[in-house]
Amino acid sequence: MEIKAFTVADLKTALLSEDFWHTKTLPITKHRALSYSHNPRADKDDPVLLVAYQDSQVIGYLGILPDNIFVNNTVYKFGWLTSWWVDPSCATTGVGTILLFKALNAYQQQLGVSGSSKEARKALDASQKFKALKTLKGLDISFRLNVTRAILRKLPRLEIFRVLFKIFDDMMDEVVNLRSFFWRRGNDICQRLSFEYLSSIDEETGQFIQRHHQHDLTRKGKADLNWMMMYPWILSAPLKDSAAKRYYFSSRSEKFYYLGVKVFEHNNEMVGFFMLKVRDDRMSVVYSYFESQHALSVTAAVVYHTLAMDVSALSLYDEQLAASFSELRCPCWSAKAVSREFSLSKALADIPLTNYRLHGGDGDLAFY
Amino acid sequence: MHEEITRMLFGVIDELNQLRPAEEHLEKNLATPLAGDSGRLDSAGLINLIVVTEQKTAEELGRPILLTDDRTMSQVKQVFGTLGTLADYIQLLLNEKRDG
């Protein structure tokens, strides 16, 4: 078994190489490699991908996303663990363990984790190297009933009745549309808001973010959000291509895009900015910036967009947005409290973290 | 020294077995395979073994060792092949410490 550590510079070279992409299992997709190699927080010598090879075939890999933690005027460099995979037939060969400890050693034991599979969580807990950060609480809101999907997922043999379920869903959607119509008409917040859409962060927004990110754990700025929007890990594509079939993690969805939304009050004052991620029929707010007194307006703007776009669910991972949602009394089928776990390695325990803010897109969560 | 290490490792196995279902218990035998082609431990199991072994070596043998450095990680199959190879490696590390 051989473990190769690919730095940002190595990945740039790999993108131009034929051989790297010829293995039966891919350790990364080309668009994800492009993203890794353009990460504004990574240096060219940072290891960002560890790959385990046996007989020239990939049997495991682990990605690392370099990032910074900001406390007052001090910057702490670390990396988020991402896409940790081991070929199931090699599960007891120690390859997963080697990848984890090699990653920890490469980053002086300073790593973070944002969400993980059950197996990965078990292994990370066993290492006793990580300590939980505060839990990020949010809301998962269903705007469409989607009985078809719920029933067919549980009882696939009822596929023959799909048309009937679909008709029922369409009827229920019309009920929601009608309720939403009256909600929008009766809600004066929406009427006094206007928007500007961004496919990349402009100067005004960059400065707005800078004024509002002082308490953020990783203080994302213009360059970071532009990088995410420009180099997605998931492409909008109708079918699985050959890379998607050879890569374990998500690499394509029928619909995937980011949208930056500037929110203005009637007097043309910019009161908020949020970055939306739309994946198939689900929308998430991955980053949001606003003053507390404008939380209701920004939440209304988010909901307004959810209703205007053809999505069935909205994820809000921000306590102020989640609290404001209840205040808006917006029609929906359900609003479920959800949470996301983040942890940092104990080597970062000395950082004096108090009153910091996490976003729904922190770690690698903005990319999925 | 090897006997003390073996005894300590059997204690590690006792501790690991408490977390494993009865049918997956590891035998207290130097030939017991751990990681490698005929390994019995998945990633979480092997990581657990490493952490508990480091802790018990410090507690019971009075000298801390590191089993997660790049040197050890470059020879996982050899070091963690069986309980016996792990005992040999711990002895090597302890001797290196003693000899400075």
Chain A residues in contact with B39 (beta carbon < 8 A): 92-94
Domain assignment present for residue A356? The answer is no
| pTM for the predicted model, two decimal places | 0.93
> Please, which pLDDT band fits residue B32 given cuts at 50, 70 and 90?
very high
Would you say residue B7 has pLDDT above 90?
yes
Q: How many domains does chain B have?
A: 1
Asked if A230 and A200 sit in the same domain, the reply is: yes
Rounded distance between C-alpha atoms, residue B65 and residue B97, angstroms:
9
Interchain proximity A105–B68, CB inside 8 Å: yes
Interchain proximity A123–B50, CB inside 8 Å: no
Least Cα distance to A285 among A135, A167, A150, A139 occurs for: A139
How remote is the C-alpha of B80 from its chain's centroid? 7
Domain assignment present for residue A365? The answer is no
Domain that holds residue A315: 137-340
- Computed over its alpha carbons, how large is the radius of gyration of chain B? 13
Domain that holds residue B9: 2-98
Residue type, A65: L
Residue finishing a domain among A134, A160, A175: A134
Chain B residues in contact with A89 (beta carbon < 8 A): none
Asked if A41 and A78 sit in the same domain, the reply is: yes
Interface-testing mutation among B18, B19, B20, B47, with chain A (most A C-beta atoms within 10 A): B47
Chain B residues in contact with A95 (beta carbon < 8 A): 43
Asked if A90 and A177 sit in the same domain, the reply is: no
Please give the residue of chain B at the shortest CA–CA distance from A96: B43
Per the structure block, which two tokens stand in for B43?
């990633």
CB of A90 less than 8 A from some CB of B: no
A201-220 in b/e form (b: 16+ CB < 10 A) is beeebbebbeebbeebbbbb
Asked if A313 and A199 sit in the same domain, the reply is: yes
Least Cα distance to A280 among A256, A263, A258, A262 occurs for: A256
Q: Are strands A342-345 and A235-236 parallel, antiparallel or unpaired?
A: unpaired
pLDDT at B1 (0 to 100): 78
Per the structure block, which two tokens stand in for B52?
């508990």
Tell me the shortest Cα–Cα distance from A191 to chain B, in angstroms.
54
pLDDT at A305 (0 to 100): 93
Which CA distances in Å does A53 have to A23, A26, A27, A162?
10, 11, 10, 45
Interchain proximity B77–A1, CB inside 8 Å: yes
Least Cα distance to A259 among A280, A273, A238 occurs for: A273
**How many C-beta neighbours within 10 Å does residue B37 have?**
10
Asked if A144 and A259 sit in the same domain, the reply is: yes
A21-24: list long-range contacts, CB under 8 Å, 24+ apart: A21/A243, A23/A56, A23/A57, A23/A58, A23/A246, A24/A57, A24/A58, A24/A246
pLDDT at A192 (0 to 100): 87
pLDDT at A309 (0 to 100): 87
Which stretches of chain A drop beneath a pLDDT of 50? none
Please name every residue paired with B82 in a beta bridge, in sequence order, or none if there are none.
Answer: B33
Please name every residue paired with A257 in a beta bridge, in sequence order, or none if there are none.
Answer: A278
pLDDT at A339 (0 to 100): 93
Domain assignment present for residue A327? The answer is yes
Asked if A46 and A82 sit in the same domain, the reply is: yes
pLDDT at A331 (0 to 100): 86
Cβ contact A57:A24 at 8 Å? yes
Domain assignment present for residue A361? The answer is no
Q: Which ipTM score applies to this complex?
A: 0.94
Asked if A54 and A146 sit in the same domain, the reply is: no
Residue finishing a domain among A134, A160, A178: A134
Domain assignment present for residue A79? The answer is yes
CATH, residue B21: 1.10.1200
pLDDT at A145 (0 to 100): 82
Rounded distance between C-alpha atoms, residue A3 and residue A61, angstroms:
9
- For chain A, what's the residue count? 368
CB of A243 less than 8 A from some CB of B: no
Asked if A67 and A185 sit in the same domain, the reply is: no
Residue finishing a domain among A134, A152, A187: A134
Would you say residue B37 has pLDDT above 90?
no
Asked if A243 and A158 sit in the same domain, the reply is: yes
Domain assignment present for residue A357? The answer is no
Asked if A99 and A166 sit in the same domain, the reply is: no
